[in-house]
Amino acid sequence: VRGRPRGPALGVGAQPRPRRGRRRRHRERQHRRVRARLRHHRRPREEGPQDPPVGRPLDGLFIVSRILVKALGEGKVPAAVDGAWMELMLSPYDYGKDALHDADTRALMGKITFTHGGPEYDAKYPDGIPTAIDISLKGGKKISSGMVMYPSGHARNTSADLKRILQHKNRMLGDIVFADRSQVDGFVSKLVGMKSLPASEVGGVYSFDWSAVRQHDCIDG
């Protein structure tokens, strides 16, 4: 061990301090570097004209804004909540290079803020996910959703048709991979029915025809 020992010098009957191995010293150095990087990342940075304010949850801002961009592009309000989940569902393209730099998305991000609901909301978690959305219009009118405890996808939600929503999601993602919808449905059906497959077929549950894969440009540019 390099450096001077800490504490009094070793005398008769004293127990020597165990030496730290090279791997342990390396891990400690790595941890110090990580902590230093985390402290650096928490510092406020100078904002650019297109950047959302520091301290906002960027992932939430981006996701909500992309959904709103999609809704504005549709030009209509979905007839039901399940329809909204499917019609406005984000695809990998909504997280690609073009989406990240989309001017409309960034403009909407600047109009959204997240605030703590307070003790009333804290008391209801983790039983549910207490959330509310308030929309303030230019004329001063406010539209509020009220508190939502069990949104679609939550284990306690009983109103959403999760199987139908999941089927839509699987097809949306599968259509990016396969050129033929029948290939998508065939691949997914094996996963859905996995619990009833014999052991001899489980090993090939992820097998598919590579020649049926769709060719397209990389989403991330």
Is 140 found in the same domain as 167?
no
Residue 217 lies in a domain: no
Per-residue pLDDT of the chain (221 residues; tens, 9 = 90+): 212 333 343 333 334 444 556 666 655 555 454 443 433 333 344 444 445 444 457 788 899 999 999 999 998 888 899 999 999 999 999 999 999 999 999 999 999 988 888 999 999 999 999 999 999 999 999 999 999 999 998 989 999 999 999 999 999 999 999 999 999 999 999 999 999 999 888 988 999 888 989 988 888 87
Q: Given this model, what pLDDT does residue 28 score?
A: 58
Is 66 found in the same domain as 100?
yes
What lies within 8 Å, CB to CB, of 24 at 6+ separation is none
Is 119 found in the same domain as 106?
no
Q: How far apart are CA 67 and CA 94, in angstroms?
A: 9
Length of the chain: 221
Taking alpha carbons only, the member of 126, 133, 127 closest to residue 147 is: 133
Residue 139 lies in a domain: yes
Residue 220 lies in a domain: no
Residue 83 lies in a domain: yes
Is 128 found in the same domain as 99?
no
Is 107 found in the same domain as 125?
no
Distances (CA, A) of 175 to 45, 46, 83, 170: 40, 41, 19, 8
Q: How far apart are CA 69 and CA 60, in angstroms?
A: 14
Q: How far apart are CA 159 and CA 141, in angstroms?
A: 29
Q: How far apart are CA 69 and CA 63, in angstroms?
A: 10
Residue 41 lies in a domain: no
Is 110 found in the same domain as 58?
yes
Residue 48 lies in a domain: no
Is 106 found in the same domain as 64?
yes
Q: How far apart are CA 151 and CA 129, in angstroms?
A: 8
Is 124 found in the same domain as 73?
no
The domain tally of the chain equals 3
Helices (H) and strands (E) counted in the chain, each on its own, are 9, 2
Q: Given this model, what pLDDT does residue 220 score?
A: 82
Is 59 found in the same domain as 107?
yes
* Prediction pTM value: 0.68
Domain with 103, as residue range(s), is: 54-114
Amino acid, res. 65: S
